[in-house]
């Protein structure tokens, strides 16, 4: 049931779950330097992608090469898209329940939002970037959610989840269709999956690490359409909600 009355998300609407302060403390930066780094975040990631990104070494790029740079790009996106991210949290609160997997959890905003939902019992934050892990763990601890949120670098084998969320991740994978099949296997029979994608390198090639191969994209949509049924939601978002096709 969809509702705008979600007081457990009030802290997000105030200050994005205190994101700026969390970044400033974790990175030990003064506020002026943080603002400068946030403004340069996307450009820095684009330059790094053009220089070092290789699809055969994609995991290594995100795990070992992006370092703190990804925090600034993600932080800037979440702060400048405050209302949009807020609506994704509303979508999560509408459907998330039980045991939740946040795949490619980034800076942790969606993980935190899911953990605050009363109907959610546990959230598994999954990301291959060790810097992201450290940052999100520090956020979770400060917010008193460390007993509800657990951390992993890969989806635990043979684990199942009542809800899977994954935002701005699939376009970074060499085989997003296989990831959808992995999600299908990990999702409980009545579970739901909430995700989005952006198979586009940008009008000015600002996203060199996004997969836009037409064959990959075609296969991805066929995989979704043969394995999942879309669940309508009223929010104006690129994110979609699905359940298993039975």
The pLDDT score that the predictor gives to residue 246 is: 77
Q: Is residue 8 part of a domain?
A: no
Q: Is residue 19 part of a domain?
A: no
Residue 181 has pLDDT above 50, yes or no: yes
In angstroms, rounded to a whole number, what is the distance separating the alpha carbons of residues 81 and 187?
29
Residue 39 has pLDDT above 90, yes or no: yes
In angstroms, rounded to a whole number, what is the distance separating the alpha carbons of residues 100 and 172?
21
Please provide the DSSP assignment of 134-176 as one string: HHHHHHHHHTT-TTTEEEESSPPTT--EEEEEE-S-GGGSS-H
Each residue of 194-238: pLDDT tens digit? Answer: 999 999 999 999 999 999 999 999 999 999 999 999 999 999 999
Query: What is the four-CA torsion angle of 135, 136, 141, 142, rounded to 10 degrees?
Result: 70
Q: Is residue 116 part of a domain?
A: yes
The pLDDT score that the predictor gives to residue 42 is: 86
Number of domains in the chain: 1
Q: What strand order describes the sheet that includes 120-126?
A: 149-152, 120-126, 98-103, 161-166, 187-195, 240-244, 228-231
Domain that holds residue 164: 82-244
Q: Is residue 24 part of a domain?
A: no
The pLDDT score that the predictor gives to residue 49 is: 87
Q: How confident is the model at residue 1 (pLDDT cuts 50, 70, 90)?
A: very low
Structure tokens that stand for 90 in this block? 């509303």
Each residue of 49-92: pLDDT tens digit? Answer: 888 899 988 899 999 888 898 999 999 999 999 999 999 999 99
Helices (H) and strands (E) in the chain, counts: 11, 7
Instruction: Answer whether 160's CB lies under 8 Å from 186's CB.
Output: yes
CATH number at residue 167: 3.40.50.150
Is the pTM above the cut of 0.85?
Answer: yes
The pLDDT score that the predictor gives to residue 5 is: 65
User: Which residues have CB under 8 Å from 88's CB, separation 6+?
Assistant: 110, 167, 194, 235, 237, 239
């Amino acid at each position: 049931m969809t509702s705008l009355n979600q007081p457990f998300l009030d802290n997000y609407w105030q200050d994005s779950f205190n994101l700026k302060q969390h970044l400033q403390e974790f990175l030990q930066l003064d506020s002026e330097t943080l603002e400068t780094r946030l403004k340069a975040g996307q450009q820095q990631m684009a330059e790094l992608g053009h220089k070092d990104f290789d699809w055969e070494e994609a995991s290594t790029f995100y795990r070992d090469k992006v370092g703190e740079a990804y925090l600034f790009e993600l932080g800037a996106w979440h702060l400048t898209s405050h209302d949009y991210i807020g609506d994704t949290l509303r979508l999560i609160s509408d459907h998330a329940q039980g045991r939740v997997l946040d795949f490619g959890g980034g800076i942790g905003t969606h993980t935190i939002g899911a953990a605050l939902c009363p109907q959610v019992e546990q959230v598994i934050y999954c990301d291959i970037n060790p810097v992201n892990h450290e940052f999100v763990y520090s956020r979770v601890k400060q917010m008193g959610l460390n007993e509800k949120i657990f951390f992993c670098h890969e989806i635990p084998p043979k684990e199942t989840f009542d809800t899977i969320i994954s935002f701005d991740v699939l376009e970074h994978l060499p085989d997003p269709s296989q990831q959808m099949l992995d999600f299908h296997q990990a999702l409980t029979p009545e579970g739901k999956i909430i995700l989005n994608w952006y198979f586009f390198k940008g009008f000015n090639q600002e996203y060199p690490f996004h997969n836009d191969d037409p064959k990959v994209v075609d296969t991805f949509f066929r995989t979704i359409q043969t394995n999942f049924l879309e669940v309508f939601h009223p929010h104006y978002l690129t994110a979609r909600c699905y359940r298993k096709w039975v």
